[in-house]
Amino acid sequence: MTFVAPPGYQPIYGPRIPYLGPIYGGLREGTSIYLQGSIPEDITRFFVNLLCGESESSDIALHFNPRFDGWDKVVFNTCQNGSWESEEKIRSMPFCKGQSFEMVIMVTSQGYQIKVNGNDFHTFQHRVPVERVCAMQIAGDVSIQTINVIGGGYPGDMGGGMGPVPYANMIPGGMFPKRTIIIRGMVPYGADKISINFVVSRSRDIAFHMNPRVREGIVVRNSMIGGNWGLEDRELSLNPFMEGHRRNELLCGLVDGFDGLWVSCVCAPQMSIRCGNQRFKVFVNGQHLFDFFHRLQSFSEIDMLEIDGDVQISYIHF
């Protein structure tokens, strides 16, 4: 059984290169494009284009082009009406031959801010209105594991940088069907435990407690109602959080259009949790992992999100 997230929130895993595909919903200030991939030893060059149409002949709002040619550099440019504009050459190379990488393209009011492996690299100022961008193209000597487009500057966003934990904030308007929440962060190497709670602030009941215990290789599920913890659910057919990864990229969300909650770990397992009328249904890499039946009569009472443990929060969207 395959779980498909709604357009605009569905990560793309293992795309074939060359790749050309739409960016559902387009781009706006606050949007981030996350790419995880690897560079071969014999690399010459590769590029990432943000296109104003879904064909190779479309205008290019951003051309990002690392070149390993003896004078290693990254070239930025724009192409309009079939004509290339003036190049910006950054004579520094953030990628290493034969190694994996994580790259983020963040849309700001000034331009496209590029980060590679967590480090600021360059901001390419807008030459084409960002609202025109509707597709992405990737080609050359590169392997891509994950493409994910998230955000968009809506109320409730946590901006760039790492947010502190423990984190606790009200969910504006509370929970209701088709409510969407996105959480993104880093689970560092050597992490022990993480806690994600959906809470009823009035009573302090925890309607759904998800507790990945990385070192133990288990994910505990529970609820706390009336000050009392219920029986733990621990049984799993596979382990979605595995010790030994340098870090996992954590992406969680309540998905618009699916009446529920989904969670995706971008760098290792891909996990989704769907909340139905009777239960949460949890999937990893498209495979059903477990069900967690509701123990609180109405999840519409949930109005607070709490996160704690060995995780750095980089993005939250209500």
Q: For residue range 21-49, list pLDDT tens digits in order.
A: 998 878 888 788 888 889 999 999 999 99
Largest CA distance in the chain: 67
Highest mean pLDDT: which of 71-80, 199-208, 236-245?
A: 71-80
CB 309 within 8 A of CB 195: yes
Distance between CA atoms of residues 224 and 143, nearest Å: 44
Distance between CA atoms of residues 217 and 243, nearest Å: 7
Cross-strand pairs, 220 = 211
Domains and CATH numbers, the chain: 12-150 (2.60.120.200), 167-243+267-317 (2.60.120.200)
Distance between CA atoms of residues 242 and 21, nearest Å: 31
The values of phi and psi at residue 308, to 5°, are -150, 170
Of 162, 130, 169, nearest to 250 by C-alpha is 162
Per residue in 78-102, pLDDT (tens digit) is 999 999 999 999 999 999 999 988 8
Give the pLDDT of residue 317: 62
Residue of 169 and 241 predicted with greater confidence: 169
Distance between CA atoms of residues 40 and 55, nearest Å: 27
Label residue 242 by pLDDT band (50, 70, 90).
Answer: low
Measured on CA atoms in the order 282, 287, 288, 290, is the torsion positive or negative?
Answer: negative
Per residue in 101-139, pLDDT (tens digit) is 888 898 999 999 999 887 889 999 999 999 999 999 999
CB count in 10 Å sphere of residue 12: 14
Per residue in 256-308, pLDDT (tens digit) is 334 444 444 433 344 555 666 777 776 654 566 778 888 987 877 888 889 88
The values of phi and psi at residue 184, to 5°, are -135, 140
Give the pLDDT of residue 187: 66
Give the pLDDT of residue 119: 84
Residue that the structure tokens 């520094």 belong to: 92
Give the pLDDT of residue 172: 75
CB 107 within 8 A of CB 131: no
Distance between CA atoms of residues 102 and 118, nearest Å: 7
Residue 239, pLDDT > 80, answer no
Distance between CA atoms of residues 176 and 237, nearest Å: 31
